[in-house]
Amino acid sequence: MTTETRGRVRTEPGAKRVRAFLGGVAVFDTGRPVLVWEGPHLPVYYVPAVDVDEDLLVPSEHAERSPSRGEARFWSVRVGDRLAENAARQYPDSPVEEIRDLIRFEWSAMDAWFEEDEEVFTHPRDPHHRVDILRSSRHVEVIVNGVKVADSHGPTLLFETGLPTRYYLPLTDVRTELLRPSSSSTGCPYKGTASYWSLEVQGERLEDVVWTYPSPLPESARIAGLACFYNERVDILVDGELQERPSSPFARRAAAA
């Protein structure tokens, strides 16, 4: 498998069967997807134009130009009475030769994505991304405004490529009377769908600072029902040592929550 890089764009051919559905219809079905890193973090799927159901594509006058990929040609996708506007794009004259004959579909515009026969959420799985979940006996304390809101000798540590260590704690070790329900949720292709709580301590409310995976994907079953705090927004002590608040791709979201 060969990875090609042009400027900020990196491409890598994949071997998985990948499909996306709209209105119950497969918009494309390919065994030759290409993972494209348009930026430094998450990849997106580009698929060969010949593997797309062209009868579902409706030409669009919308146009965008990318400094790294060039001028984009757009289509909307129509299935019955469903119309996903400007959901598909192609860069036929791109300086990145590897993507010229490929079409990129907006993830959120499709109803469902599948790698082989397993549904994938949020974005493609990155083949260079790893998640390790390990049970531990380390002493983890969470402090907010001088108040200890969690104290555990039985944490589960989640190590994920490019992200800070996350400390998942049994709810019995968390002061749940300080938690406030939230309607927020997020998706992860490695862990599943997370539900959130806000935290109220000494009159201050920290929105969406705690999350849990009630029904995680099978590979992340060890964190089911455990609570995790944003390291970026609370003080965490591990074996009595205060941890530095990390910088991560999620720090901005956490600070804005």
pLDDT tier at 238, thresholds 50, 70, 90: very high
Span 169-184, average pLDDT = 97
Q: pLDDT by residue (tens digit) across 55-114? A: 999 999 999 999 999 999 999 999 999 999 999 999 999 999 999 999 999 999 999 999
Please count the other Cβ atoms lying within 10 Å of the Cβ belonging to residue 135.
10
Q: Are 38 and 68 in contact (CB under 8 A)?
A: yes
Report the candidate in 150, 158, 237, 238 with the shortest Cα–Cα distance to residue 199.
150
Which of 86, 120, 154 delimits the end of a domain? 120
In a domain, 162, yes or no: yes
Q: Are 119 and 100 in contact (CB under 8 A)?
A: no
**Residues 111 and 219 placed together within one structural domain of the fold:** no
Predicted local confidence at residue 250, as pLDDT: 61
- 11, HSE (Cβ side, Cα atoms, 13 Å): 20
Plot region of 105 (φ>0 → left; ψ -120 to 50 → alpha; else → beta): beta
**Residues 239 and 143 placed together within one structural domain of the fold:** yes
Predicted local confidence at residue 232, as pLDDT: 93
Predicted local confidence at residue 247, as pLDDT: 80
Q: pLDDT by residue (tens digit) across 107-138? A: 999 999 999 999 998 899 888 889 999 999 99
In a domain, 58, yes or no: yes
In a domain, 238, yes or no: yes
**Residues 41 and 100 placed together within one structural domain of the fold:** yes
Predicted local confidence at residue 39, as pLDDT: 79
Q: pLDDT by residue (tens digit) across 127-169? A: 888 999 999 999 999 999 999 999 999 999 999 998 899 999 9
Which of 120, 142, 176 delimits the end of a domain? 120
**Residues 56 and 113 placed together within one structural domain of the fold:** yes
Residue 4 has pLDDT above 60, yes or no: no
Residue 256 has pLDDT above 50, yes or no: no
* Non-local CB neighbours of 19 within 8 Å, separated by 6+ positions: 26, 27, 28, 29, 30, 113, 114
- The domain total for the chain is 2
Residue 257 has pLDDT above 50, yes or no: no
**Residues 136 and 88 placed together within one structural domain of the fold:** no
Report the candidate in 173, 165, 176 with the shortest Cα–Cα distance to residue 139.
173
**Residues 248 and 165 placed together within one structural domain of the fold:** yes
In a domain, 126, yes or no: no
- CATH number for position 59: 2.170.150.40
Domain residues for 167? 131-256
Which of 120, 149, 184 delimits the end of a domain? 120
**Residues 113 and 138 placed together within one structural domain of the fold:** no
**Residues 102 and 166 placed together within one structural domain of the fold:** no
Residue 242 has pLDDT above 90, yes or no: yes
**Residues 116 and 166 placed together within one structural domain of the fold:** no
Span 231-253, average pLDDT = 84
**Residues 20 and 102 placed together within one structural domain of the fold:** yes
pLDDT tier at 41, thresholds 50, 70, 90: confident
